[in-house]
């Protein structure tokens, strides 16, 4: 029977809850709604203390609306409670969460409610906010005589439903009330606009704006602060309190405030941002908000900027001595009033503005005239600087240009007052962020306070040290690194208007045109300087070819080094020179213009061990490096400062030519060598290398030619004398008569014919080949030629105990017959087929070549060794083992090797002797790659062999040298065979 009673009680609670919710939805009167809630709480909940209050967010106040108290006097429940910071009730309205107190009598943050709890013995208390959409509309306080603050889940759910419905109803009532009581900004602003139109003076208009704003917002004070750019401070130009107030009064507006004091506030106004500081809310950072309120001596502030053409003229401020939450209506009206002020403010100085515009246009025109005038650069910049400093009221005019060699900015022009010294330093290159800032900017960069601004940080210390506090900076030319920068500076903190910044930008671009013209002029002069250096160097080199100069003197190298050093302005230029095969370099000094740079006396520089020389030889072009990177061995003989730089380049002419010199230039590290200058230096050094090579070749050829002329003259005169004596001897022999003995007579006749033939051949040699070779055309059987050649080396064969064999002389005319071999240690036997093996050409010279080859084979053979001579007929369809370019053969028109219907004789001389591999390589790669390099072909036997090789090419034959796999050395001679009609 107990269970049905419990169900009946639950149903009654639900029905009671439904009736209350229905009443809350249908009732419009707030007081009646609250009484319904109180009755419901009294009926359903056992609490001795019930209090309902509504929350005023604007004034941060709770208004009591009644409740239940263990006393007949309920006036306490209808009182107004001002919420104090740290109060228990403040925690509820801010956090908007229910809060339980176990014993209200012991709660120190309850204030008045603690006294009530002690009086009526209230312990356990629950405080629940009445909220809707995150907005606190009031609160409910429930107190019990029991200790603790527990509330059952079912009761808590019913209570939250009732309070939620009450919050929704109260929110609707608040919205409707706000709509009824909302201030309309359009009518007051239109009225203010009409008043401003009827007033003439600016101060009257400002006064009207202040009065209208003060009337609409109702703060404690309404002020207009004006901004002075010269000193960067604000001063109170107009206030609603027109009477003078005691300076110590807290109600007096702030007189003068610097931007430094109001930094965050100032920058917010500069970007057209309204500043609102109210109860526990601020549009600025918290630490600066307290500082600003303390400076203005207020607790709430609403400020709107007065801006004209992006320039901050001042701000309109409404100030309150109490914490206040500014509504959107208040913000809109203050912002609108400030906008109206910004429209009327420029008209105060309209005449001055028009005059300034005219003066700016005139200034622009004058600067343009300066650009196209015939003044020098300094005179042009002086005229521009004077006008710019006057117009902008600045103290310094600085024009900087980037120096790529020094990697810094140099002052190319500066102007300052007479009592200020010009700047004597250079500014470091910009940091990456500052470079990008200048590259991307299309207007002047303004630095109002250099002490606080972090832009151009690496310049700041030097500029501040020289009394500069504010700057206007513009790039004059485009570039990855701004080539030119224009700066005007002031000794005080100040800012410039947008119009002034636009004018300064235009002026900087015009000055950029001046700098561009000046750069082109300097570049032209630099090119002329390079051209003159080229011309002087080439003239020097040309004179060296046309004049007899002692090769031991180094005047020409020194002159060339001076011209090279002139282009870079280097204080040290030297040449390390050596000849082929030498291991120590000669030091040729060119320029030693500074005592800090030079080569220590007695220095010995090894071409194979010195690092600088080896680095230069390994580099195709030039190489630049720092002195600090040099090894200690180099620093022992090279005298340069630690902060220096080195340029080295080898005198390289061709990859196949030997390098015989390295140029070294030295300078301070602060100077940066430009790429065009280095390329010019490289070209001049290359020209110097070619000149030195050609000079050495000429000297070598001249000395060789002189020696050959002397040798030829001497041998020719000796041959003339031998020929004369031989002819005289023959004449005397003939005068003596023929011997009577028949055998002696026969031998006498033979010797006489040989002497006569020798004298006749010598006469032809003296007549036809005095200063050049003469080619004759003869035929001779190869057997006879070999027999004569072997007879000439008979003594050498006997000395070396050599065995010689001749093979192939019995070869028939028709190809295909098996060749026969013939071994002739003493001579060559005759044969019927030998007459077919006849060669055609200059027999005497061919015989000398064969003789040279046989002598070379004998000298290289071991004692008791063997020499083989192989003869083989070749026709045009039999390819030779080694082919030459036909254009190199120099053949006569009658005989060409490899021509159609022409046969040749291959004569190969083989032996088991030793030959140098380098000599074979040089003979195969003839002609020489480098005439100045040491070679096996410059002295016998290589010299004799290369002469024979070249001679055979001229005679229509071919001579090659190679080594067989079995290590036999082969001298292969190709000779033209005589035809049937020869």
pLDDT 10s digits, 633-667: 888 888 888 888 889 999 888 877 888 889 999 88
pLDDT at residue 473, as a whole number? 93
Q: Which residues of the chain fall below pLDDT 70? A: 1-10, 149-150, 178-183, 242-255, 279-280, 286, 348-376, 537-538, 540-554, 709, 711-712, 714, 716-718, 720-721, 736, 738, 810-836, 876-902, 926-931, 980-982
Residue 682 CA to residue 685 CA, distance in Å, equals 5
Cα dihedral value 346, 351, 356, 361, nearest 10:
110
3-class secondary-structure state, position 425: coil
User: Contact, 853 vs 948, CB < 8 A?
Assistant: yes
CA 663 to chain centre: 28
Handedness of CA 418, 419, 424, 428 (dihedral sign): negative
pLDDT at residue 788, as a whole number? 85
| Integer-rounded Cα radius of gyration of the chain | 58
Q: In this structure, what are the phi and psi dihedrals at residue 475, rounded to the nearest 5 degrees?
A: -85, 140
161: left (phi over 0), alpha (psi -120 to 50) or beta: alpha
CA 908 to chain centre: 66
pLDDT at residue 356, as a whole number? 65
pLDDT digits (tens, 9 = 90+) for 469-507: 899 999 988 877 888 999 999 988 888 888 888 888 888
User: Contact, 464 vs 452, CB < 8 A?
Assistant: no
Q: The tokens of 93 are what?
A: 């309205």
Give the side-chain half-sphere CA count within 13 A for 121.
2
User: Contact, 387 vs 366, CB < 8 A?
Assistant: yes
Q: The tokens of 120 are what?
A: 């009526």
Q: The tokens of 431 are what?
A: 């940091």
Residues 6+ apart with CB under 8 A from 627: 635, 640, 641, 642, 643, 644, 645, 646, 666, 669
Cα dihedral value 274, 277, 282, 285, nearest 10:
90
Q: Among residues 929, 979, 937, which one has the least CA distance to residue 961?
A: 937
795: left (phi over 0), alpha (psi -120 to 50) or beta: alpha
Burial of 877 (0-12, 13-18, 19+ CB in 10 A): exposed
Burial of 771 (0-12, 13-18, 19+ CB in 10 A): exposed
Structure-token match 């420029």, residue found:
346
Cα→Cα distances 607→557, 615, 650, 930, Å: 19, 11, 12, 20
Burial of 420 (0-12, 13-18, 19+ CB in 10 A): middle
Residue 508 CA to residue 855 CA, distance in Å, equals 89
pLDDT digits (tens, 9 = 90+) for 662-696: 999 988 877 777 787 888 888 888 888 888 888 88
Residues 6+ apart with CB under 8 A from 395: 389, 416, 417, 420, 467, 468, 489, 490, 491
Strands 803-807 and 866-874: parallel
Does residue 941 have a cis peptide bond before it, meaning omega lies within 30 degrees of 0? yes
Alpha helices, DSSP H only, in 547-629?
A: 555-568, 611-618
Residues 6+ apart with CB under 8 A from 463: 450, 471, 489
């Amino acid at each position: 029977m107990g269970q049905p009673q419990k169900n009946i009680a639950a149903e009654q609670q639900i029905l009671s809850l439904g009736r209350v919710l229905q009443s809350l939805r249908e009732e419009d009167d707030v007081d009646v709604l609250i009484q319904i809630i109180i009755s419901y709480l009294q009926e359903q909940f056992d609490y001795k203390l019930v209090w309902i209050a509504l929350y005023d967010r604007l004034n941060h106040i709770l208004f009591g609306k009644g409740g239940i108290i263990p006393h007949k006097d309920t006036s306490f429940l209808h009182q107004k409670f001002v919420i104090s910071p740290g109060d228990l009730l403040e925690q509820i309205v801010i956090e908007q969460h229910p809060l339980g107190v176990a014993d209200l009598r012991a709660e120190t943050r309850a204030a008045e409610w603690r006294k009530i709890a002690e009086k009526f013995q209230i312990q356990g208390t629950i405080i629940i906010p009445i909220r809707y959409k995150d907005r606190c509309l009031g609160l409910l306080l429930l107190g019990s005589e029991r200790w603790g603050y527990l509330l059952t889940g079912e009761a808590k759910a019913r209570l939250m439903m009732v309070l939620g419905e009450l919050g929704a109803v109260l929110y609707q009532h608040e919205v409707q009330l706000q709509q009824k009581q909302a201030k309309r900004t359009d009518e007051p602003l239109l009225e203010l606009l009409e008043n401003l139109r009827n007033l003439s003076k600016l101060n009257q208009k400002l006064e009207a704006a202040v009065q209208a704003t003060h009337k609409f917002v109702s703060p404690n004070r309404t002020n207009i602060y004006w901004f002075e750019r010269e000193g960067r401070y604000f001063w109170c130009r107009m206030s609603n309190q027109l009477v003078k107030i005691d300076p110590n009064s807290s109600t007096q507006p702030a007189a003068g405030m610097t931007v430094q004091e109001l930094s965050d506030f100032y920058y917010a106004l500069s970007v057209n941002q309204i500043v609102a500081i109210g109860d526990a809310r601020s549009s600025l950072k918290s630490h600066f908000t307290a500082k600003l309120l303390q400076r203005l001596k207020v607790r709430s502030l609403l400020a709107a900027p007065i801006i004209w053409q992006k320039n901050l003229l001042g701000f309109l401020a409404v100030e309150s001595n109490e914490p206040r939450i500014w509504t959107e209506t208040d913000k809109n009206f203050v912002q609108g009033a400030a906008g109206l002020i910004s429209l009327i403010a420029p008209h105060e100085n309209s005449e001055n503005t028009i005059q300034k515009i005219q003066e700016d246009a005139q200034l622009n025109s004058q600067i343009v005239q300066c650009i196209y005038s015939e003044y020098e650069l300094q005179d042009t910049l002086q005229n521009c600087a004077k006008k710019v400093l006057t117009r902008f009221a600045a103290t310094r005019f600085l024009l900087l240009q980037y120096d790529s060699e020094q990697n810094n900015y140099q002052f190319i022009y500066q102007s300052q007052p007479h009592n200020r010294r010009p700047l004597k330093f250079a500014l470091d290159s910009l940091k990456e962020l500052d470079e990008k800032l200048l590259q991307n900017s299309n207007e002047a960069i303004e630095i109002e306070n250099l002490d606080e601004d972090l832009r151009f940080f690496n310049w700041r210390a030097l500029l501040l040290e020289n009394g500069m506090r504010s700057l206007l900076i513009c790039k004059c030319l485009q570039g990855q690194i701004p080539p030119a920068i224009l700066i005007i500076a002031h000794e005080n903190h100040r800012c410039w208007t947008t119009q002034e910044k636009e004018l300064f930008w235009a002026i900087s671009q015009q000055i950029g045109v001046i700098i561009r013209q000046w750069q082109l002029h300097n570049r032209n002069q630099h090119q002329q300087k390079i051209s003159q250096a080229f011309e002087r160097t080439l003239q020097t080199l040309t004179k060296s070819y046309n004049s007899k100069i002692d090769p031991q003197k180094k005047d020409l190298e020194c002159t060339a080094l001076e011209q090279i050093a002139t282009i870079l302005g280097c204080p040290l230029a030297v040449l390390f020179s050596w000849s082929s095969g030498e291991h120590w370099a000669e030091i040729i000094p060119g320029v030693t213009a500074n005592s800090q740079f030079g080569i220590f006396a007695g220095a010995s520089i090894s071409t194979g061990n010195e690092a600088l020389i080896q680095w230069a030889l390994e580099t195709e072009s030039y190489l630049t490096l720092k002195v600090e990177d040099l090894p200690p061995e180099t620093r022992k003989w090279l005298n340069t400062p630690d902060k220096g730089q080195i340029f080295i380049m080898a005198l390289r002419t061709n990859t196949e030519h030997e390098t015989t010199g390295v140029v070294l230039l030295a300078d301070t590290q602060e100077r940066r060598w430009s790429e065009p200058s280095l390329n010019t230096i490289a070209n001049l050094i290359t020209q110097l290398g070619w000149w030195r090579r050609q000079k050495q070749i000429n000297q070598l050829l001249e000395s060789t030619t002189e020696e050959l002329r002397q040798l030829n003259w001497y041998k020719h005169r000796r041959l003339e004398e031998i020929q004369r004596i031989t002819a005289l001897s023959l004449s005397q022999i003939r005068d003596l008569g023929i011997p009577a003995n028949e055998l002696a007579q026969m031998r006498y006749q033979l010797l006489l014919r040989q002497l006569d033939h020798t004298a006749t051949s010598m006469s032809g040699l003296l007549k036809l080949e005095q200063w050049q070779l003469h080619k004759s055309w003869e035929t001779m059987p190869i057997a006879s030629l070999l027999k004569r050649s072997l007879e000439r080396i008979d003594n050498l064969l006997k000395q070396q105990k050599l065995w010689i064999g001749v093979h192939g002389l019995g070869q028939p005319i028709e190809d295909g017959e098996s060749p026969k071999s013939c071994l002739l240690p003493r001579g060559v036997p005759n044969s019927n087929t030998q007459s077919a093996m006849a060669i055609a050409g200059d027999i005497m010279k061919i015989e000398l070549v064969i003789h040279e080859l046989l002598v070379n084979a004998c000298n290289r053979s071991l004692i008791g060794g063997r020499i083989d001579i192989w003869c083989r007929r070749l026709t045009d369809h039999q390819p030779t083992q080694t082919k030459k370019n036909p254009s190199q053969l120099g053949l006569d028109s009658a005989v060409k090797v490899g021509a159609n219907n022409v046969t040749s004789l291959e004569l190969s001389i083989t032996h088991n002797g030793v030959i140098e591999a380098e000599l074979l390589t040089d003979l195969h790669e003839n002609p020489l790659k480098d005439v100045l390099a040491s070679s096996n072909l410059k002295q016998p036997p290589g010299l004799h062999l290369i002469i024979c090789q070249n001679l055979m090419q001229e005679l229509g034959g071919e001579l090659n040298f190679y080594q067989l796999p079995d290590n036999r050395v082969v001298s292969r001679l190709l000779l033209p065979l005589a035809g049937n009609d020869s």
